[in-house]
Chain A
Protein backbone atom coordinates (compact mmCIF):
# COMPACT_ATOMS: atom_id res chain seq x y z
CA UNK A 1 0.00 0.00 0.00
CA UNK A 2 2.73 2.38 1.03
CA UNK A 3 4.81 1.52 -2.01
CA UNK A 4 1.90 2.36 -4.21
CA UNK A 5 1.44 5.71 -2.49
CA UNK A 6 5.06 6.63 -3.01
CA UNK A 7 5.04 5.67 -6.63
CA UNK A 8 1.89 7.71 -7.16
CA UNK A 9 3.51 10.65 -5.51
CA UNK A 10 6.67 10.31 -7.57
CA UNK A 11 4.65 10.14 -10.74
CA UNK A 12 2.84 13.28 -9.68
CA UNK A 13 6.18 14.92 -9.03
CA UNK A 14 7.42 13.87 -12.36
CA UNK A 15 4.36 15.21 -14.09
CA UNK A 16 4.57 18.57 -12.39
CA UNK A 17 8.31 18.55 -13.05
CA UNK A 18 7.67 18.10 -16.75
CA UNK A 19 5.09 20.86 -16.56
CA UNK A 20 7.61 23.17 -14.94
CA UNK A 21 10.17 22.24 -17.52
CA UNK A 22 7.71 22.94 -20.31
CA UNK A 23 6.69 26.33 -18.97
CA UNK A 24 10.28 27.51 -18.59
CA UNK A 25 11.12 26.07 -21.99
CA UNK A 26 8.29 27.93 -23.69
CA UNK A 27 9.39 31.17 -22.10
CA UNK A 28 12.96 30.62 -23.28
CA UNK A 29 14.16 31.78 -26.66
CA UNK A 30 14.36 28.42 -28.38
CA UNK A 31 11.02 27.40 -26.89
CA UNK A 32 9.25 30.51 -28.10
CA UNK A 33 10.82 30.25 -31.52
CA UNK A 34 9.82 26.60 -31.79
CA UNK A 35 6.23 27.28 -30.74
CA UNK A 36 6.09 30.19 -33.16
CA UNK A 37 7.32 28.00 -36.03
CA UNK A 38 4.95 25.18 -35.08
CA UNK A 39 1.98 27.54 -35.14
CA UNK A 40 2.98 28.99 -38.51
CA UNK A 41 3.51 25.52 -39.95
CA UNK A 42 0.14 24.31 -38.61
CA UNK A 43 -1.79 27.08 -40.35
CA UNK A 44 0.35 27.35 -43.43
CA UNK A 45 -1.70 25.00 -45.65
CA UNK A 46 -4.85 27.07 -45.08
CA UNK A 47 -3.51 30.46 -46.09
CA UNK A 48 -4.60 30.07 -49.67
CA UNK A 49 -6.87 27.84 -51.71
CA UNK A 50 -4.92 28.55 -54.85
CA UNK A 51 -4.13 25.39 -56.78
CA UNK A 52 -0.51 26.28 -57.38
CA UNK A 53 -0.13 27.08 -53.70
CA UNK A 54 -1.57 23.79 -52.51
CA UNK A 55 -0.06 21.48 -55.08
CA UNK A 56 3.29 23.18 -55.64
CA UNK A 57 4.28 25.35 -52.69
CA UNK A 58 2.99 23.15 -49.88
CA UNK A 59 4.85 20.04 -51.14
CA UNK A 60 8.08 22.02 -50.73
CA UNK A 61 7.39 21.84 -47.02
CA UNK A 62 6.74 18.15 -47.37
CA UNK A 63 10.28 17.85 -48.72
CA UNK A 64 11.53 19.99 -45.92
CA UNK A 65 10.01 17.61 -43.35
CA UNK A 66 11.46 14.53 -45.06
CA UNK A 67 14.89 16.06 -45.53
CA UNK A 68 15.04 17.37 -41.98
CA UNK A 69 14.49 13.85 -40.59
CA UNK A 70 17.01 12.50 -43.06
CA UNK A 71 19.72 15.06 -42.28
CA UNK A 72 19.23 14.70 -38.54
CA UNK A 73 19.58 10.93 -38.82
CA UNK A 74 22.95 11.42 -40.53
CA UNK A 75 23.92 13.76 -37.75
CA UNK A 76 23.31 11.04 -35.14
CA UNK A 77 25.99 8.76 -36.59
CA UNK A 78 28.43 11.41 -37.79
CA UNK A 79 27.85 14.48 -35.68
CA UNK A 80 27.04 12.81 -32.37
CA UNK A 81 29.03 9.57 -32.54
CA UNK A 82 31.76 10.79 -34.87
CA UNK A 83 31.43 7.90 -37.32
CA UNK A 84 31.74 9.61 -40.69
CA UNK A 85 29.00 7.98 -42.68
CA UNK A 86 29.04 8.34 -46.46
CA UNK A 87 26.56 5.58 -47.05
CA UNK A 88 23.49 7.42 -45.88
CA UNK A 89 21.83 6.70 -49.21
CA UNK A 90 21.95 2.97 -48.40
CA UNK A 91 19.37 3.22 -45.61
CA UNK A 92 17.35 5.86 -47.38
CA UNK A 93 17.19 4.03 -50.69
CA UNK A 94 16.82 0.48 -49.42
CA UNK A 95 13.97 1.43 -47.10
CA UNK A 96 12.24 2.86 -50.15
CA UNK A 97 12.91 -0.34 -52.06
CA UNK A 98 11.66 -2.57 -49.26
CA UNK A 99 8.47 -0.58 -48.84
CA UNK A 100 7.97 -0.22 -52.58
CA UNK A 101 8.43 -3.91 -53.29
CA UNK A 102 6.04 -4.84 -50.48
CA UNK A 103 3.34 -2.54 -51.79
CA UNK A 104 3.70 -3.43 -55.46
CA UNK A 105 4.51 -7.12 -55.26
CA UNK A 106 2.47 -8.18 -52.24
CA UNK A 107 -0.22 -5.53 -52.05
CA UNK A 108 0.67 -4.65 -48.48
CA UNK A 109 -1.09 -1.51 -47.17
CA UNK A 110 1.14 1.56 -47.14
CA UNK A 111 1.31 2.01 -43.40
CA UNK A 112 2.41 -1.59 -42.82
CA UNK A 113 4.94 -1.24 -45.61
CA UNK A 114 6.30 1.87 -43.90
CA UNK A 115 6.73 0.03 -40.61
CA UNK A 116 8.41 -2.95 -42.25
CA UNK A 117 10.64 -0.68 -44.32
CA UNK A 118 11.80 1.15 -41.20
CA UNK A 119 12.47 -2.12 -39.40
CA UNK A 120 14.28 -3.37 -42.49
CA UNK A 121 16.41 -0.23 -42.67
CA UNK A 122 17.30 -0.56 -39.00
CA UNK A 123 18.35 -4.13 -39.62
CA UNK A 124 20.48 -3.00 -42.56
CA UNK A 125 22.00 -0.41 -40.24
CA UNK A 126 22.80 -3.26 -37.89
CA UNK A 127 24.43 -5.26 -40.71
CA UNK A 128 26.44 -2.30 -41.95
CA UNK A 129 27.45 -1.52 -38.40
CA UNK A 130 28.64 -5.06 -37.64
CA UNK A 131 32.09 -4.43 -39.06
CA UNK A 132 32.18 -1.65 -36.48
CA UNK A 133 32.28 -4.31 -33.81
CA UNK A 134 35.76 -5.19 -34.91
CA UNK A 135 36.89 -2.23 -36.95
CA UNK A 136 38.19 1.03 -35.63
CA UNK A 137 39.01 4.39 -37.08
CA UNK A 138 38.25 5.34 -40.66
CA UNK A 139 37.36 1.82 -41.77
CA UNK A 140 33.71 2.20 -41.09
CA UNK A 141 33.64 5.23 -43.33
CA UNK A 142 35.32 3.23 -46.09
CA UNK A 143 32.86 0.41 -45.69
CA UNK A 144 29.84 2.72 -45.85
CA UNK A 145 31.18 4.58 -48.86
CA UNK A 146 32.10 1.48 -50.83
CA UNK A 147 28.90 -0.29 -49.89
CA UNK A 148 26.76 2.55 -51.18
CA UNK A 149 28.42 2.40 -54.61
CA UNK A 150 28.09 -1.32 -54.75
CA UNK A 151 24.43 -1.44 -53.82
CA UNK A 152 23.77 1.29 -56.35
CA UNK A 153 25.58 -0.63 -59.05
CA UNK A 154 24.01 -3.95 -58.23
CA UNK A 155 20.51 -2.47 -58.25
CA UNK A 156 21.12 -0.46 -61.41
CA UNK A 157 22.40 -3.48 -63.31
CA UNK A 158 19.91 -5.94 -61.85
CA UNK A 159 17.29 -7.79 -63.89
CA UNK A 160 14.80 -5.30 -65.31
CA UNK A 161 11.71 -7.27 -64.24
CA UNK A 162 10.01 -7.68 -60.85
CA UNK A 163 10.69 -7.21 -58.04
CA UNK A 164 13.41 -4.56 -58.52
CA UNK A 165 12.97 -3.50 -62.16
CA UNK A 166 16.65 -2.72 -62.72
CA UNK A 167 17.61 0.76 -63.73
CA UNK A 168 13.99 1.92 -64.05
CA UNK A 169 13.18 1.06 -60.47
CA UNK A 170 9.80 0.44 -58.89
CA UNK A 171 7.09 2.81 -59.98
CA UNK A 172 3.35 3.22 -59.50
CA UNK A 173 3.51 3.54 -55.72
CA UNK A 174 0.49 5.08 -54.01
CA UNK A 175 0.77 8.55 -52.49
CA UNK A 176 0.84 8.69 -48.73
CA UNK A 177 -2.45 10.51 -49.16
CA UNK A 178 -3.87 11.92 -52.38
CA UNK A 179 -4.64 15.19 -50.64
CA UNK A 180 -1.41 17.21 -50.37
CA UNK A 181 -2.63 18.91 -47.22
CA UNK A 182 -3.22 15.64 -45.40
CA UNK A 183 0.15 14.38 -46.62
CA UNK A 184 1.62 17.60 -45.28
CA UNK A 185 0.20 16.97 -41.84
CA UNK A 186 1.20 13.31 -41.72
CA UNK A 187 4.77 14.32 -42.41
CA UNK A 188 4.61 17.34 -40.12
CA UNK A 189 3.57 15.16 -37.22
CA UNK A 190 6.21 12.56 -38.12
CA UNK A 191 8.80 15.31 -38.08
CA UNK A 192 7.75 16.51 -34.64
CA UNK A 193 7.73 12.99 -33.21
CA UNK A 194 11.11 12.13 -34.77
CA UNK A 195 12.73 15.31 -33.51
CA UNK A 196 11.37 14.89 -30.00
CA UNK A 197 12.89 11.39 -29.98
CA UNK A 198 16.19 12.45 -31.56
CA UNK A 199 16.60 15.52 -29.36
CA UNK A 200 15.93 13.53 -26.23
CA UNK A 201 18.45 10.90 -27.38
CA UNK A 202 20.97 13.68 -27.87
CA UNK A 203 20.28 15.04 -24.38
CA UNK A 204 20.15 11.63 -22.69
CA UNK A 205 22.94 9.60 -21.24
CA UNK A 206 23.18 7.77 -24.58
CA UNK A 207 23.88 11.08 -26.33
CA UNK A 208 26.58 11.90 -23.82
CA UNK A 209 28.21 8.52 -24.35
CA UNK A 210 28.12 8.93 -28.13
CA UNK A 211 29.71 12.34 -27.87
CA UNK A 212 32.43 11.01 -25.60
CA UNK A 213 33.19 8.31 -28.19
CA UNK A 214 33.39 10.97 -30.85
CA UNK A 215 35.74 13.16 -28.84
CA UNK A 216 38.01 10.47 -27.46
CA UNK A 217 37.39 6.90 -28.47
CA UNK A 218 40.35 5.41 -26.63
CA UNK A 219 39.56 7.41 -23.52
CA UNK A 220 35.93 6.30 -23.48
CA UNK A 221 36.98 2.72 -23.91
CA UNK A 222 39.42 3.09 -21.03
CA UNK A 223 36.63 4.41 -18.83
CA UNK A 224 34.66 1.22 -19.42
CA UNK A 225 32.35 2.19 -22.26
CA UNK A 226 31.74 -0.56 -24.78
CA UNK A 227 32.41 1.73 -27.72
CA UNK A 228 31.67 -0.93 -30.30
CA UNK A 229 28.19 -1.46 -28.95
CA UNK A 230 27.36 2.23 -28.89
CA UNK A 231 28.69 2.78 -32.38
CA UNK A 232 26.39 0.02 -33.54
CA UNK A 233 23.48 1.65 -31.74
CA UNK A 234 24.31 4.97 -33.39
CA UNK A 235 24.28 3.28 -36.78
CA UNK A 236 20.97 1.61 -36.13
CA UNK A 237 19.34 4.84 -34.98
CA UNK A 238 20.74 6.58 -38.00
CA UNK A 239 19.35 3.85 -40.25
CA UNK A 240 15.97 3.87 -38.54
CA UNK A 241 15.26 7.56 -39.10
CA UNK A 242 16.79 7.74 -42.55
CA UNK A 243 14.78 4.64 -43.46
CA UNK A 244 11.61 6.44 -42.44
CA UNK A 245 12.63 9.47 -44.50
CA UNK A 246 13.47 7.16 -47.40
CA UNK A 247 10.13 5.42 -47.55
CA UNK A 248 8.28 8.74 -47.22
CA UNK A 249 10.39 10.09 -50.04
CA UNK A 250 9.60 7.10 -52.24
CA UNK A 251 5.88 7.39 -51.54
CA UNK A 252 5.92 11.10 -52.21
CA UNK A 253 7.49 10.62 -55.64
CA UNK A 254 5.52 7.36 -56.12
CA UNK A 255 8.66 5.71 -57.42
CA UNK A 256 11.93 4.23 -56.16
CA UNK A 257 14.91 3.93 -58.47
CA UNK A 258 18.68 3.64 -58.15
CA UNK A 259 19.49 7.09 -59.52
CA UNK A 260 16.89 8.97 -57.54
CA UNK A 261 16.97 7.17 -54.20
CA UNK A 262 20.38 5.57 -53.89
CA UNK A 263 22.86 7.83 -55.64
CA UNK A 264 25.75 9.70 -54.12
CA UNK A 265 23.65 12.85 -54.38
CA UNK A 266 21.34 11.52 -51.68
CA UNK A 267 24.18 11.12 -49.20
CA UNK A 268 25.44 14.51 -50.29
CA UNK A 269 22.08 16.08 -49.45
CA UNK A 270 22.14 14.72 -45.92
CA UNK A 271 25.67 16.01 -45.43
CA UNK A 272 25.05 19.49 -46.78
CA UNK A 273 21.87 19.99 -44.79
CA UNK A 274 23.44 18.84 -41.54
CA UNK A 275 26.58 20.88 -42.22
CA UNK A 276 24.56 24.00 -43.01
CA UNK A 277 22.77 23.73 -39.71
CA UNK A 278 25.88 22.76 -37.78
CA UNK A 279 27.18 19.23 -37.43
CA UNK A 280 26.50 17.52 -34.13
CA UNK A 281 23.55 19.67 -33.11
CA UNK A 282 20.65 17.52 -34.46
CA UNK A 283 18.25 20.46 -34.47
CA UNK A 284 20.59 22.29 -36.84
CA UNK A 285 19.35 19.84 -39.46
CA UNK A 286 15.95 21.51 -39.30
CA UNK A 287 17.40 24.84 -40.22
CA UNK A 288 19.75 23.30 -42.77
CA UNK A 289 16.97 21.37 -44.48
CA UNK A 290 14.77 24.45 -44.58
CA UNK A 291 17.57 26.53 -46.07
CA UNK A 292 18.36 23.83 -48.60
CA UNK A 293 14.78 23.24 -49.75
CA UNK A 294 13.96 26.89 -50.21
CA UNK A 295 17.22 27.95 -51.76
CA UNK A 296 16.78 25.08 -54.18
CA UNK A 297 13.19 26.22 -54.81
CA UNK A 298 14.37 29.74 -55.56
CA UNK A 299 17.25 28.62 -57.76
CA UNK A 300 14.99 26.35 -59.78
CA UNK A 301 12.38 29.12 -60.03
CA UNK A 302 14.92 31.54 -61.51
CA UNK A 303 15.53 28.93 -64.18
CA UNK A 304 18.67 27.10 -63.12
CA UNK A 305 19.17 23.53 -64.19
CA UNK A 306 19.10 20.96 -61.35
CA UNK A 307 22.75 20.07 -61.99
CA UNK A 308 23.75 23.70 -61.67
CA UNK A 309 21.80 23.92 -58.44
CA UNK A 310 23.80 21.00 -57.12
CA UNK A 311 27.02 22.72 -58.16
CA UNK A 312 25.94 25.77 -56.19
CA UNK A 313 25.27 23.59 -53.17
CA UNK A 314 28.57 21.75 -53.45
CA UNK A 315 30.33 25.12 -53.43
CA UNK A 316 28.26 26.15 -50.41
CA UNK A 317 29.24 22.92 -48.67
CA UNK A 318 32.94 23.51 -49.39
CA UNK A 319 32.68 27.03 -48.02
CA UNK A 320 30.72 25.99 -44.94
CA UNK A 321 33.13 23.23 -43.94
CA UNK A 322 36.14 25.36 -44.72
CA UNK A 323 35.09 28.61 -43.07
CA UNK A 324 32.16 27.93 -40.78
CA UNK A 325 32.38 24.47 -39.31
CA UNK A 326 29.74 25.46 -36.71
CA UNK A 327 27.31 25.79 -39.58
CA UNK A 328 26.01 28.94 -41.20
CA UNK A 329 22.83 29.21 -39.26
CA UNK A 330 23.83 28.58 -35.68
CA UNK A 331 25.60 31.95 -35.46
CA UNK A 332 22.57 33.51 -37.14
CA UNK A 333 20.31 32.05 -34.46
CA UNK A 334 22.59 33.48 -31.80
CA UNK A 335 22.10 36.94 -33.25
CA UNK A 336 18.39 36.40 -33.35
CA UNK A 337 18.48 35.30 -29.73
CA UNK A 338 20.27 38.50 -28.74
CA UNK A 339 17.64 40.49 -30.56
CA UNK A 340 14.95 38.51 -28.77
CA UNK A 341 16.49 39.25 -25.40
CA UNK A 342 16.65 42.93 -26.24
CA UNK A 343 13.00 42.93 -27.28
CA UNK A 344 11.96 41.27 -24.05
CA UNK A 345 14.11 43.73 -22.14
CA UNK A 346 16.31 41.10 -20.59
Chain B
Protein backbone atom coordinates (compact mmCIF):
# COMPACT_ATOMS: atom_id res chain seq x y z
CA UNK B 1 0.00 0.00 0.00
CA UNK B 2 2.82 2.41 0.87
CA UNK B 3 4.41 1.95 -2.54
CA UNK B 4 1.25 2.69 -4.48
CA UNK B 5 0.52 5.65 -2.23
CA UNK B 6 4.03 7.03 -2.69
CA UNK B 7 3.85 6.60 -6.47
CA UNK B 8 0.51 8.43 -6.58
CA UNK B 9 1.81 11.34 -4.50
CA UNK B 10 5.02 11.48 -6.53
CA UNK B 11 3.21 11.42 -9.87
CA UNK B 12 0.86 14.17 -8.80
CA UNK B 13 3.70 16.32 -7.46
CA UNK B 14 5.63 15.82 -10.70
CA UNK B 15 2.58 16.79 -12.75
CA UNK B 16 1.92 19.76 -10.51
CA UNK B 17 5.47 21.07 -10.76
CA UNK B 18 5.50 20.54 -14.53
CA UNK B 19 2.32 22.62 -14.87
CA UNK B 20 3.50 25.29 -12.42
CA UNK B 21 6.55 25.83 -14.62
CA UNK B 22 4.38 26.55 -17.69
CA UNK B 23 4.18 30.13 -18.85
CA UNK B 24 0.41 30.57 -18.75
CA UNK B 25 -1.62 31.35 -15.67
CA UNK B 26 -4.31 28.76 -16.44
CA UNK B 27 -1.77 25.94 -16.52
CA UNK B 28 -0.09 27.31 -13.42
CA UNK B 29 -3.35 27.41 -11.47
CA UNK B 30 -4.07 23.82 -12.52
CA UNK B 31 -0.56 22.90 -11.43
CA UNK B 32 -1.06 24.51 -8.05
CA UNK B 33 -4.29 22.56 -7.63
CA UNK B 34 -2.53 19.29 -8.42
CA UNK B 35 0.31 20.24 -6.12
CA UNK B 36 -2.06 20.95 -3.26
CA UNK B 37 -3.76 17.55 -3.77
CA UNK B 38 -0.38 15.87 -3.60
CA UNK B 39 0.57 17.87 -0.51
CA UNK B 40 -2.67 16.94 1.24
CA UNK B 41 -2.08 13.24 0.61
CA UNK B 42 1.50 13.65 1.76
CA UNK B 43 0.48 15.25 5.05
CA UNK B 44 -2.05 12.50 5.55
CA UNK B 45 0.68 9.90 5.18
CA UNK B 46 2.98 11.66 7.65
CA UNK B 47 1.07 10.03 10.52
CA UNK B 48 1.81 6.61 8.93
CA UNK B 49 -0.79 4.68 6.94
CA UNK B 50 -3.11 2.51 8.99
CA UNK B 51 -6.04 0.45 7.68
CA UNK B 52 -9.11 0.05 9.88
CA UNK B 53 -7.66 2.15 12.66
CA UNK B 54 -9.74 4.46 14.79
CA UNK B 55 -8.49 7.80 16.00
CA UNK B 56 -10.30 7.59 19.33
CA UNK B 57 -8.93 5.47 22.15
CA UNK B 58 -10.92 2.33 22.97
CA UNK B 59 -12.72 2.15 19.62
CA UNK B 60 -10.57 -0.44 17.89
CA UNK B 61 -7.49 -2.62 18.13
CA UNK B 62 -5.33 -0.35 15.99
CA UNK B 63 -4.97 3.39 16.15
CA UNK B 64 -4.37 6.02 13.56
CA UNK B 65 -2.65 9.31 14.30
CA UNK B 66 -5.41 11.95 14.53
CA UNK B 67 -3.18 14.98 14.17
CA UNK B 68 -2.35 14.70 10.43
CA UNK B 69 -6.07 14.37 9.77
CA UNK B 70 -6.66 17.66 11.53
CA UNK B 71 -3.69 19.23 9.74
CA UNK B 72 -4.87 18.04 6.34
CA UNK B 73 -8.30 19.49 6.96
CA UNK B 74 -6.74 22.90 7.63
CA UNK B 75 -4.48 22.54 4.60
CA UNK B 76 -7.44 21.65 2.36
CA UNK B 77 -9.42 24.69 3.46
CA UNK B 78 -6.48 27.06 3.05
CA UNK B 79 -5.45 25.51 -0.26
CA UNK B 80 -8.99 25.84 -1.58
CA UNK B 81 -9.22 29.51 -0.64
CA UNK B 82 -5.81 30.24 -2.11
CA UNK B 83 -6.63 28.49 -5.38
CA UNK B 84 -9.84 30.48 -5.66
CA UNK B 85 -7.89 33.68 -5.13
CA UNK B 86 -5.23 32.70 -7.67
CA UNK B 87 -7.96 31.95 -10.21
CA UNK B 88 -9.62 35.34 -9.73
CA UNK B 89 -6.26 37.05 -9.94
CA UNK B 90 -5.46 35.15 -13.14
CA UNK B 91 -8.74 36.35 -14.65
CA UNK B 92 -8.00 39.89 -13.55
CA UNK B 93 -4.52 39.66 -15.06
CA UNK B 94 -6.03 38.30 -18.26
CA UNK B 95 -8.25 41.35 -18.61
CA UNK B 96 -5.71 43.89 -17.33
CA UNK B 97 -2.73 42.68 -19.30
CA UNK B 98 -4.54 41.40 -22.38
CA UNK B 99 -3.13 37.87 -22.25
CA UNK B 100 -2.61 35.09 -19.74
CA UNK B 101 1.16 34.93 -19.96
CA UNK B 102 2.53 34.96 -16.40
CA UNK B 103 4.97 37.71 -17.35
CA UNK B 104 2.19 39.64 -19.09
CA UNK B 105 4.09 40.17 -22.33
CA UNK B 106 2.48 43.50 -23.09
CA UNK B 107 5.53 45.70 -22.71
CA UNK B 108 4.10 47.25 -19.61
CA UNK B 109 6.98 46.97 -17.22
CA UNK B 110 10.47 48.36 -17.24
CA UNK B 111 10.46 49.80 -20.73
CA UNK B 112 7.45 51.99 -20.01
CA UNK B 113 9.43 54.75 -18.28
CA UNK B 114 11.78 54.88 -21.27
CA UNK B 115 8.93 55.27 -23.71
CA UNK B 116 7.18 57.89 -21.65
CA UNK B 117 10.42 59.72 -21.34
CA UNK B 118 10.92 59.89 -25.09
CA UNK B 119 7.30 60.92 -25.58
CA UNK B 120 7.29 63.75 -23.09
CA UNK B 121 10.86 64.65 -23.95
CA UNK B 122 11.67 65.68 -20.42
CA UNK B 123 14.93 63.75 -20.32
CA UNK B 124 17.67 66.10 -21.40
Q: Do A and B bind each other?
A: no
Which B positions have Cβ atoms within 8 angstroms of A? none
Which A positions have Cβ atoms within 8 angstroms of B? none
